[in-house]
Structure 1
Amino acid sequence: MTSPTIDSGVGPIEPLWCTREVSTFLNVSEATLSRWRRERIGPPFLRVGGISRYSPATVRAWVAEQEQARG
């Protein structure tokens, strides 16, 4: 999954991912992500207009942390 980058004047950035994109990337259901948000155990997210969005870099960092924790 590659997202186009946008140059906002401070360098290229990736667009935020929606729940569907994160669930695909992590190979989990959207319901699982919803539960993780409620339990505060999944990847960090932010709310944009009441909708959950994820920074691709933050999701990748969270996956790396999970791998190291199981290490």
Structure 2
Amino acid sequence: MATHTQTDPRAILGVALPDRYLTPDDIAEIFEVPKETVYQWRKKRTGPPGFRIGKHLRYDPADVLAHVAERKSTGQDDAA
């Protein structure tokens, strides 16, 4: 019977994500981009999906990892 090995999701980004919902500042730090870029990604729907808790924008670490994995697997590369 074949065994299925699964890569540690944290290895996708090369960083350990916190065990909490992420803020736009966290996303900017993780991807080493200005916070304004994070807001542009959201506006253009090109970045990881976020959600609102009241007036606060948050990102689920699992969604961020899934977004990066999808981008890597499809070879998407946005020219900014």
- Band of TM-score, shorter chain: 0.7 to 0.9
Residue in structure 1 matched with residue 20 of structure 2 by the alignment: 15
**RMSD over aligned Cα atoms:** 1.5
Deviations, residues 2-57 of structure 1 (Å, cap 9, x unaligned): 42xxxxxxxxxx31000111111112111001011111111000001121100011
Q: Identity across aligned pairs (percent)?
A: 31
Residue in structure 2 matched with residue 53 of structure 1 by the alignment: 58
Structure 2 gaps, min length 5: 1-15
Equivalent pairs counted in the alignment come to 61
- Greater per-residue strand proportion: 1
- Which structure: larger Rg? 2
Cα 1:48/1:66, change in 2 over 3 Å: same
1:1-71 matches, within 5 Å, as 1-3=16-18, 14-70=19-75
Cα 1:40/1:27, change in 2 over 3 Å: same
SS class of match (2:52)? strand
Q: Which runs of 4+ in 1 moved over 3 A?
A: none
Structure 1 gaps, min length 5: 4-13
Structure 2 length-normalised TM: 0.68
Cα 1:23/1:70, change in 2 over 3 Å: same
Structure 1 length-normalised TM: 0.76
